[in-house]
Amino acid sequence: MKKAHPLLQRQIKRYFGGQPEPLGKWEKFLGAVNQAYWDADQDRVMLERALELSSQELLQANSEMRAMIKAFPDLFLRLDRDGHVLAYKKGEMERSPLKDGEPLGKKFYTLFDDSNAVRLKAVFLKVLENQAVNYVEFALDVGGRHYYEARIIPMECQEIFVIMRDISERKIAEEQLVYYSMFDPLTNLYNRAYFENEMHRMEYFSMNPTGLIICDVDNLKVVNDTYGHDRGDDLLKEVARVLRQAMRKNDIIARIGGDEFAILLPDSDAAAVEATCQRVRDTITAYNNAASGLYLSVSMGSAHWKSKIQKLDDIFKEADDKMYKEKFINHIKLNQDLLKSVFDQIGMADLSFRGCYQRINTLNAQLQMDVKREGNEEEMKLLVNLKKSNRAGSEYCSMETEAQGVSDLDEYKSFIRSLLLLLNTALE
């Protein structure tokens, strides 16, 4: 038999009084008992080691969990099943969603304003009922509008864990995405995608007559090329403002292209559409008469949708075609008005026809010689249109007065170089 286990030795001594025990028929039985004692010792050692390792792992896991919770800026709450706060970590959010005061012992949803408390309580009860994670988003005015997410988690220990985080940046980004999907950021009008969706929605669901107006800003390219794109953007913003002023609240105004605008007029018959076009023209005239510094000219075309037999796409094309016809007529007049405005600004409006024409001819010849001497190829190309500048300049000369204004080559060089690009574009 294997060496007797100390516990077996004590048992034999107890029952046999320290006398050598007769093995005989007991040898097999005592050997099994002895082996069981030794096996039990080995199992105990293994169990103790396992418990030691488990304890270490648990401590490590708890330590890691605490470090992770501490590292997160979120607000953490540990609750009992009635919703009372057992422990919490305030977090490092810019604005805490909790009311002032100590939260321990209070029902967590009472720590918020009344409207959000109702929502948080409802989600909390749902988590208790379903034993599944749930979350709710809510907004608070705490030093400005802030958005929060509360994630409520049931634990196996019959407790509830709540994680709250500030999601303001995400919500603002989402709102911006929604905005840019619907609006033009320059003018704050609707964009083309939204306009087309609304147009087709009306086509399928509206039974009332609908008007459509297409507007195109005249000579935006001239303004961009002459004064810069910032000035062109200002022009577009002013057109948007004028259109808003002329429209009803339920009219849908959109910027559908670089210089093109479109307006849907719900519940509008042909007379109402024409009245709206006239209102736009009157508003633009009033704007230009106010001498704001930006001259507005808009070509318009309109059409009227009165039957579901018609397609709004066809109505759009009809209005677009009318707009381009008006734009062709406006082109000549606007070029004259625009050039007159520029010449007026530099003091050439009062030049006599004979004096102006002769002086410009002389200065043009001097300027061509000067440009050739400098070797500026770009300006050489632009000088092709100097004859056009002669005509444009002399058109606004007075027949009765003597020549005045432009007097020397340097002054004329400054003037003509600033106008060459304008003349190239506007006088084509």
Model confidence at 417, pLDDT cuts 50, 70, 90, reads low
CATH class of 72-172: alpha beta
Say if residues 177 and 98 touch (Cβ distance below 8 Å): no
Domain boundaries 190-324, corresponding CATH code: 3.30.70.270
Task: Answer yes or no: is pLDDT of 68 > 90.
Answer: no
Q: On the CB side of 8, how many CA atoms lie within 13 Å of its CA? A: 20
Phi, psi of 263 (to 5 degrees): -130, 130
Maximum C-alpha span of the chain: 155
**Comparing 152-156, 176-180, 296-300, 408-412, which segment has the lowest mean pLDDT?**
408-412
Model confidence at 352, pLDDT cuts 50, 70, 90, reads very low
Q: Give domain limits for the chain.
A: 6-59, 72-172, 190-324, 346-427
Model confidence at 391, pLDDT cuts 50, 70, 90, reads very low
**Comparing 34-38, 249-253, 320-324, 381-385, which segment has the lowest mean pLDDT?**
381-385
Check residue 306 and give its pLDDT: 78
Average pLDDT across the chain, whole number: 76
194 alpha-carbon distance from chain centroid? 15
Dump pLDDT digits (tens) for 289-305. Answer: 886 678 899 999 999 88
Q: Please report, rounded to a whole number, the percentage of residues in the chain having pLDDT higher than 90.
A: 23
Dump pLDDT digits (tens) for 199-229. Answer: 888 888 877 888 999 999 988 888 888 888 9
Tokens of 251: 């009219």
Nearest to 217 by CA among 198, 241, 239: 239
Nearest to 134 by CA among 158, 94, 99, 162: 162
Check residue 386 and give its pLDDT: 46
Taking CA atoms, 321 is separated from 119, 216, 311, 415, in Å, by: 55, 12, 16, 38
Burial tier of 166 (Cβ tally within 10 Å: 0-12, 13-18, 19+): buried
Model confidence at 387, pLDDT cuts 50, 70, 90, reads very low
